[in-house]
Amino acid sequence: MFRRLLTLIAFLALFALPGLHHPGAAQADPAYREIHFPVEGAVSFSDDFGAPRVGHTHEGNDLMGKKLQHLLATTDGTVTYAKTDTTGTSGNMLTIRDADGWSYRYMHINNDTPGTDDGLNPPDFIFAPGIVNGAKVKAGQFVAFMGDSGNAETTGPHLHFEVRTPAGDAVDPWTSLRLAQGLPAGTRCAYDKNPKPTPSAKSASGYWVLGTDGGVFSFGSAAFYGSTGGMKLNQPIVGMAASPTGKGYWLVAKDGGIFAYGDAGFFGSTGGLKLNKPIVGMAASPTGKGYWLVASDGGIFAFGDAGFFGSTGNLRLNKPVNGMAPTKTGKGYWLIASDGGMFAFGDAAFYGSVPGLGITTTVVAMGATAKGSGYWLLGGDGGVFSFGDAPFKGSLPGAGLCRWPTGVRLRPTPSGGGYWVQGNDGSTWAFGDAADYGAVNRLGLPGAVSTIDMVPVP
């Protein structure tokens, strides 16, 4: 009944965007590689990438050290270039390429007899034994000696170290080098330890992100159908669900008020009821002709063709319920409490819980796998727990950043091969086969936008 009124003011929160593609786990980080530090022993260096040089800009970092310090392979790989020519800019030079096609260049390799600066290029003090074109090396292997060949004769012994993409483009080695020493670099404090993502448009063609004011942000193919962003509400919006067609969605308020947009039908609400506890979330039935609302005491309110299969409304809970997920058949559902306790009703099976792991943490959301034979639980710190057939595909702490947002929602991909985690700061993180179509915190909006939910296009 509210849909027409809301459509008239929809423009107040319209953020329909084309598909954007950015890495979800390290949104602000430069490219980096997980490497072995290229010098044995103490060196000093700064982030001098891009610094002006005669006729060009600096395309690496200079690691200042001592003559004949051992230079080490940064990765398992193949020697693709071993030059013993002390003339020119680079002097004696070595290049190693890894299995992914990235290259690591070592310049100004030694050209002096030990204890001198004679420039005689003694063959035993340039490269390590066996280092020739085509040689296979292992990370940490001794490959060459530090020196001052080329145009480094007047600057002191150092390694000019470069990292280049498979296309040959130079990227700043600073982050890679700092992390190799166990030191922070910008926003990153460690390597990303999450499983390698396998993003696929087949997982979903887009998603909606819900702001705390009920504003809806559309990414990828997700169309904007309306929002409560410009309304004065009795209670704040706490969640959303998409219609099975992907051509509409519902928003639910803390009092159970329902706002239906697009082809999402209105089947009832608790907006006029006096609730024992506030509504904390909702889920749509498989047909889209009904939905469930869940309260923080685990009370379930079923509307349309959504069946009632039980609740924790009459139980004394250790911690409040903060979410639910229906089974694939729609003949059951799970409830999740903030201590990670799981409650299964109807044909929903129990596969485990966080308290059963002996871990004490706050759990904020859950998502079921495509087959319904497992589920993921999301901790408030962004940690992800997998049960049943739910594969672990990554978490926010595993991304290696020095700081990351609070996780507020986990949504599985329709394929079941991954999931998105929504951060409270507007960030959207894609894991497994989840595709990244953009995030609110990357829109360049004035001021920070807090978000509470995200829903993929079915």
Range of the domain at 87: 52-180
User: How would residue 12 be classed by pLDDT, with cut points 50, 70 and 90?
Assistant: very low
Q: Is residue 188 part of a domain?
A: no
Pairing of strands 15-16, 216-220: parallel
For residue 265, the domain's CATH number is: 2.120.10.30
Please check whether residues 240 and 141 belong to one and the same domain. Answer: no
What pLDDT is stored for residue 6 in this prediction?
32
**What's the full length of the chain, in residues?**
458
Q: What percent of the chain has pLDDT over 70?
A: 93
Domain's final residue, options 120, 146, 180: 180
pLDDT digits (tens, 9 = 90+) for 199-229: 998 899 999 999 999 999 999 999 999 999 8
Please check whether residues 307 and 174 belong to one and the same domain. Answer: no
Please check whether residues 297 and 363 belong to one and the same domain. Answer: yes
Strand arrangement, sheet containing 363-368: 363-368, 374-379, 384-388
Please check whether residues 173 and 61 belong to one and the same domain. Answer: yes
Please check whether residues 339 and 250 belong to one and the same domain. Answer: yes
Q: Is residue 56 part of a domain?
A: yes
Quote the CA–CA distance of 176 and 8 in Å, as a whole number.
51
User: How would residue 70 be classed by pLDDT, with cut points 50, 70 and 90?
Assistant: very high
Kindly state the average pLDDT of the residues 348-371: 91
pLDDT of 233 over the 70 cut: yes
CB contact at 8 A, 26 and 192: yes
Please check whether residues 14 and 88 belong to one and the same domain. Answer: no
pLDDT digits (tens, 9 = 90+) for 385-444: 999 999 999 999 999 999 999 999 999 998 899 999 999 999 999 999 999 999 999 999
Please check whether residues 204 and 175 belong to one and the same domain. Answer: no
Q: Is 298 left (phi over 0), alpha (psi -120 to 50) or beta?
A: left
Quote the CA–CA distance of 321 and 309 in Å, as a whole number.
16
pLDDT of 1 over the 70 cut: no
User: How would residue 30 be classed by pLDDT, with cut points 50, 70 and 90?
Assistant: low
Name which residue leads in pLDDT, 6 or 304.
304
Domain's final residue, options 119, 154, 180: 180
Please check whether residues 172 and 210 belong to one and the same domain. Answer: no
pLDDT of 449 over the 70 cut: yes
Residue type, 45: F
CB contact at 8 A, 118 and 125: no
pLDDT digits (tens, 9 = 90+) for 126-167: 999 999 999 999 999 999 999 999 989 888 999 999 999 999
Residue 358: how many other CB atoms lie within 10 Å: 6
Average pLDDT, the chain: 91
Kindly state the average pLDDT of the residues 447-458: 93
For residue 71, the domain's CATH number is: 2.70.70.10
CB burial readout 246-284, b (16+ within 10 A) else e:
bbbbbbbbbbbbbbbbbebbebbbbbeeebeebbbbbbb
Q: Is residue 31 part of a domain?
A: no
User: How would residue 24 be classed by pLDDT, with cut points 50, 70 and 90?
Assistant: very low
CA 284 to chain centre: 27
Number of domains in the chain: 2
Name which residue leads in pLDDT, 24 or 297.
297
Please check whether residues 216 and 326 belong to one and the same domain. Answer: yes
Secondary structure (3-state) at 177: helix
What pLDDT is stored for residue 29 in this prediction?
52
Q: Is residue 38 part of a domain?
A: no
pLDDT of 10 over the 50 cut: no
Quote the CA–CA distance of 112 and 124 in Å, as a whole number.
10
Please check whether residues 155 and 266 belong to one and the same domain. Answer: no
Residue 123: Cβ-neighbour burial (10 angstroms; 0-12, 13-18, 19+): exposed
Q: Is residue 316 part of a domain?
A: yes
What pLDDT is stored for residue 275 in this prediction?
94
Q: Which two tokens stand for residue 380?
A: 């408030």
Q: Is residue 338 part of a domain?
A: yes
Q: Is residue 297 part of a domain?
A: yes
Please check whether residues 283 and 326 belong to one and the same domain. Answer: yes
Domain's final residue, options 156, 180, 204: 180
CB contact at 8 A, 324 and 299: no
Q: Is residue 439 part of a domain?
A: yes
What pLDDT is stored for residue 279 in this prediction?
97
Please check whether residues 167 and 209 belong to one and the same domain. Answer: no
pLDDT of 100 over the 60 cut: yes
User: How would residue 49 be classed by pLDDT, with cut points 50, 70 and 90?
Assistant: confident
pLDDT digits (tens, 9 = 90+) for 282-341: 999 999 999 999 999 999 999 999 999 999 988 889 899 999 999 999 999 999 999 999
